[in-house]
Amino acid sequence: VIVTLLKYGFEDLVQRLEFPGAELLKRSAKEGKDVGTYVRVRHILEDLGPTFIKIGQIMSLRPDLVPPDLLKELSKLQDQAATVEFKIISSIVEKSLGGSIDDFFSDFEKTPFAAASLSQVHRALLKKEGIKVAVKVRRPGIRKMMEVDLDILNVLAERLHERSNELKIYDLPNLVKVTRRNLLKELDFTREARNIKIARSYHSEVYIPEVLMDYCSDRVLVTEFIEGIRLNEIEENHLGDPYTFARLGLNTAIKQILEDGYFHADPHPGNIIYSIEKGLCLIDWGMVGRLTERDRYDLIDLIKAIVEKDSSLLMETLLRMTVKEREVDDRALERELAENLDMFFSGPIKELNIGHLLLAIVDVLREYRLKLPPDLVIMIKALVTAEGTARKIYPELNIASEAESYIKKIASKRFRAEIVWQGIKRAFSKFLSIQKDIPVRFLRIADKIERDELGIRFRHENLESLNHTLENISNRIAFSVIIAAIVIGSSMIITTGIGPFIFGFPALGIIGYLISSLLGLWLIVIIIRTKKY
């Protein structure tokens, strides 16, 4: 990792990491200094291999943490890998199924039609069902390799967190912990199988391939194979009206987010296929997002505030949706949101690109240290991706007008009598459960007061630097007092004329002067070096 960082000119970062022997590696060749920093970051991830490529792809879904220009570079990461020989693949499949491939498949293509860093996919024909399927097989040894890479990444994250004040706000160790959990989840194909089953349970105009659960395991995923072409190839193949396909794809994403609360996290063109038999099909359900009913209602208010250009409602909704890391200047935040709304509403509503506006709002939230829950961030990125995918096919498509019918539908549902009544019953039930505990809690407090055991606990925050400064000051004062004492003592010895003598002066006095001079000089050097003067 250190060699790769040096190779692409990140000497400052290596210096901060303070690894023993890193200085010896600085002779490594530097490449790409003439290209931008973010391009070099992408090259580093590609050079470091599968784990780091997947981490880059996951981070490309987090506009709350990653600057827009870096997001663009991360989205270019190529997840390609050499194929694993069929002998190894067949042994994994047979071990998973508990029998020979010939027992379950009447045909199984030896050459994969897709290969990535985590898995490769083969076409096959199920013997019992007679269905053409896609068999996704996890690469051997990939889990162990990822765990080692993530351990290394954790060490780097902890060192950077300790040594870089500007990176502390990102809490890199926790970020690596969350990434580890998500990556290891993605390696378990039973999760993707369940994701597909849940997605199929919702009514959708877009087809989702069937998953064959009886043939799936944590290392093997078997789904219905879809013959078709990618979404962005529809127009050039003259297969239908681009507007119809673009609108259908975008409406599916909006429905999943606003109505179902269960959505595909990465609806880019490669994951949307057009089949003559099935129509539009959404594949690759490794990453999904979930939204609660409350999340969806907040999102409705967010879109409503944007469409109505209401910066006050927008600010209130965002404050409700986020977690504060520090006190927020409400007026400054509202002003900045209003500026963003003005900028994006400079043209007609039809031309409004809500995806760009949402990313700009995420930038503002990052500046004010307001944290959105991960699923809401992933939802924003999914919405941006869906809008971008649809506009590649039909550039005039507008997400605001497409979302309008869903917003009205959910808003009317929100205030239906039975929904309101259910909310009242829930709130009343919660109140009843709390009020049962109130007398007991009051008695406990009264008992503690009576026994003089009631205490108030204080917690200081961010005083470590002040403590450190005071400690330095007190140390220097004490040191200065000692030097002054040596000077005074030496002067008294010289005036009294107590022997032995050096050059006619008392030796102890001369030695005292020398010691105090050296200590004083050392103190001056320390002060100048630390620039604390």
67 domain-assigned: no
- Catalytic residue list contains 310: no
Whole-angstrom Cα distance, residue 489 to residue 478? Answer: 16
Q: Do 253 and 413 contact (CB within 8 A), yes or no? A: no
Is residue 46 in some structural domain?
A: no
What's the half-sphere exposure (Cβ side, CA atoms, 13 Å) at 195? 22
Note down the domain range covering 350: 231-415
pLDDT at 207: 93
Is the same domain home to 404 and 445? no
**Structure-model confidence comparison of residues 315 and 412, the more confident one:** 315
Provide the residue type at 381 as one letter: K
- For residues 311 and 449, membership in a common domain is answered with no
Q: Do 281 and 325 share a domain, yes or no?
A: yes
94 plus 189 within the same structural domain? yes
- Give the mean model confidence (pLDDT) for residues 243-265: 89
What are the percentages of helix, strand and coil residues in the chain, rounded to 5?
60, 10, 30
Side-chain-side CA neighbours of residue 345 (13 Å) = 14
- How is residue 448 written in tokens? 């503690």
* pLDDT computed for residue 420 by the predictor: 47
Task: Evaluate whether residue 314 is within a structural domain.
Answer: yes
- Quick check: helix, strand or coil at residue 207? strand
**258 or 476: which leads in pLDDT:** 258
Average pLDDT value for residue range 213-223 = 96
Whether residue 450 is found in the same domain as residue 471: no
The total domain count for the chain is: 4
**403 and 263: one domain?**
yes
Measured CA to CA, the distance from residue 51 to residue 118 in angstroms comes to 9
Residue 206 pLDDT > 80: yes
Q: Are residues 375 and 263 in the same domain?
A: yes
Pair 264, 375 in one domain: yes
Question: Of 185, 210, 225, which residue is a domain's last?
Answer: 225
Q: 409 and 280: one domain?
A: yes
pLDDT on residue 99: 94
The answer as to whether 4 is a domain residue is no
- With tokens 């080692």, the residue in question is 148
pLDDT digits (tens, 9 = 90+) for 110-168: 999 988 888 999 999 999 999 999 999 999 999 999 999 999 889 888 888 888 777 77
pLDDT at 58: 80
The band of 84, judged by pLDDT with boundaries at 50, 70 and 90, is very high
Whether 520 is in a domain gets the answer: yes
What value does the CA radius of gyration of the chain take, rounded to a whole number of Å?
Answer: 32
Is residue 279 predicted with pLDDT exceeding 90?
no
Greater model confidence, 215 or 50: 215
Same domain, 209 and 269: no
**DSSP secondary structure, 386-416, as one string:** HHHHHHHH-TT--HHHHHHHHHHHHHHHHT-
Quick one: 272 and 384 in the same domain?
A: yes
Q: Which of 222-231, 332-341, 379-388, 463-472 has the lowest mean pLDDT?
A: 463-472
pLDDT > 90? residue 350: no
State the chain's mean pLDDT as an integer: 81
Question: What is the spatial distance between Cα 380 and Cα 248, in angstroms, rounded to a whole number?
Answer: 19
Lowest-confidence pick of 151-160, 301-310, 524-533: 524-533
Task: Tell me, yes or no, whether 65 lies in a domain.
Answer: no
- 319-335, pLDDT tens digit by residue? 999 988 778 888 999 99
Q: Which of 149, 266, 295, 301 is catalytic?
A: 266
pLDDT of residue 11: 76
**Of the candidates 405, 437, 455, which is a domain's last residue?**
455
Is 373 within a domain?
Answer: yes
Same domain, 248 and 181: no
What does each C-alpha distance from 245 to 206, 249, 274, 380 come to in angstroms? 10, 6, 9, 22
User: Is residue 57 in some structural domain?
Assistant: no
Last residue within a domain, chosen from 187, 202, 225: 225
